[in-house]
A = this chain, B = another copy of it.
Amino acid sequence: MSKISLNLATTRAQWGFAEAVEGCLRAGITAISPWRDQIAAIGLEEAARIVRDNGLQVTGVCRGGMFPAETAQGRQAGIDDNLRAIDEAAALNADCLVLVVGGLPGASKDLPGARAQVAEGIAAMLPHARASGVRIAIEPLHPMYAADRACVNTIDQALDICETLGETVGVAIDVYHVWWDPYLARAIARAGRMKRIFAHHICDWLVPTRDMLNDRGMMGDGVIDLKSIRAMIEEAGYHGPQEVEIFSTENWWKRPGDEVLSVIKERVASVC
C-alpha cells in the first residue's frame, strides 16, 4: 500500500494539530500536512516539537499564496505573509509549502493580470524560500475557483510558471482539481520530466456535487479514476505519500476522526 499522509483539513472539524497527530499515530499514519491556522493554534514551536519527537514526515504546509491584490501595498502584505509561511514550513521541515495562488483582485476582470501578479509574487518570495531550504508547490485549482481562489487552473499553466522561476518551484497535484483535464497524462509526464511533482493530494469528485467548496468525496465514492492518475504520477517519478485532503461539511467532518482515518486506510488500499 502507498504511504498515506493526512492533510489536517480532513479532520479539521474533529481535531486540532496535536489530536490529529495522536489519531494518525493510532492509525499507523506517520505523515501529515497541517494548515497554518492549525499550526498557529498550538504554536509553531510545539508543532515542530511534535513533528520531531514523533519522526513525522510533513508532506506540505497549507498554505501560502493569495498574491493578487488591488494595490501595491496589498500585494506586499501578501508577500510578507508568504515569507512567514516559509518560516513555518522550514520549522516543520516540510517537503513543500503549498500555494493557493489567489483569484481576481477586488472587482477586477483582468485574469491575465492576476496571473502575472501570481508569478511576480512567487518570484518575490523565492529568495527567502531558497535560503530556507523550502520548496514551493503551486497547486493548480479547479477552474470553478478561477475567480475567487486560484487563477492557476491546470498543471501545464503551473509548469509554465515553474519554468520561468527555476527548479525549487513545482506543483502539488490534487486529483480533485485536475482529474477532468483532457491533457492530464501529458501534463503529468511533463511535470515528471521537469522533476517538479512535489505532492499528490487525493479525494474524490462526487456526482452530484452539492457545494462547490466543501463537498469533496472520500476516495471511491466519486468518479475519479484514482489508480490511473496514481500510475501516471509514479511513472513520472513521484513516489511520495498520497495526501488525503477532504473538505466535507455534511459528511466526513461530522464523523469521529478515528472512523475517518479507518475508512481512508481501507480506501487507499482498495481504490487508490
A135 within 8 A of B: no
- A168 CB to closest chain B CB, in angstroms? 22
Asked if B223 contacts A104 (CB within 8 A), the reply is yes
Q: Mark A215-243, 1 if CB is under 8 A from B, else 0.
A: 00000001111000000000000000000
A182 within 8 A of B: yes
A110 within 8 A of B: yes
Asked if A180 contacts B143 (CB within 8 A), the reply is yes
Q: Which of A14-22, A52-60, A123-131, A146-154 contacts B (4 or more CB under 8 A)?
A: A146-154
Q: Closest residue of chain B to A223, judged by CB?
A: B147
Q: Mark A235-271, 1 if CB is under 8 A from B, else 0.
A: 0000000000000000000000000000000000000
> What residues of B have a CB within 8 angstroms of the CB of A153 in the complex?
180-182
Near B by CB (< 8 A), chain A positions 70-84 give none
Given A110-B225, A143-B143, A223-B147, also A209-B207 (CB < 8 A): no
User: A79 vs B209: C-alpha distance in the bound complex, in angstroms?
Assistant: 28
A interface majority secondary structure = loop
Interface centre among A108, A147, A156, A224 (most CB of B within 10 A): A147
Q: Mark A148-189, 1 if CB is under 8 A from B, else 0.
A: 100111101100100000000000000000011111000000
User: A72 vs B143: C-alpha distance in the bound complex, in angstroms?
Assistant: 33
Copies in the complex: 2
User: A146 vs B208: C-alpha distance in the bound complex, in angstroms?
Assistant: 11
- A195 CB to closest chain B CB, in angstroms? 22
> What residues of B have a CB within 8 angstroms of the CB of A91 in the complex?
none
A1 within 8 A of B: no
Given A223-B147, A225-B110, also A154-B142 (CB < 8 A): no
In the complex, besides A109-B224, A151-B180, A152-B182, 15 extra interface pairs with C-beta distance below 8 angstroms are A108-B223, A109-B223, A111-B179, A115-B182, A142-B143, A143-B144, A143-B180, A143-B181, A147-B180, A147-B205, A156-B183, A157-B182, A160-B182, A209-B212, A212-B212
> Chain A interface (Cβ within 8 Å of chain B)?
104, 108-111, 115, 142-144, 146-148, 151-154, 156-157, 160, 179-183, 205, 207-209, 212, 222-225
Q: What are 19 A-B contacts with C-beta separation under 8 Å?
A: A108-B223, A109-B223, A109-B225, A111-B180, A115-B182, A142-B143, A142-B144, A144-B144, A146-B179, A147-B205, A147-B207, A147-B222, A148-B207, A152-B182, A153-B180, A153-B181, A156-B182, A157-B182, A160-B182
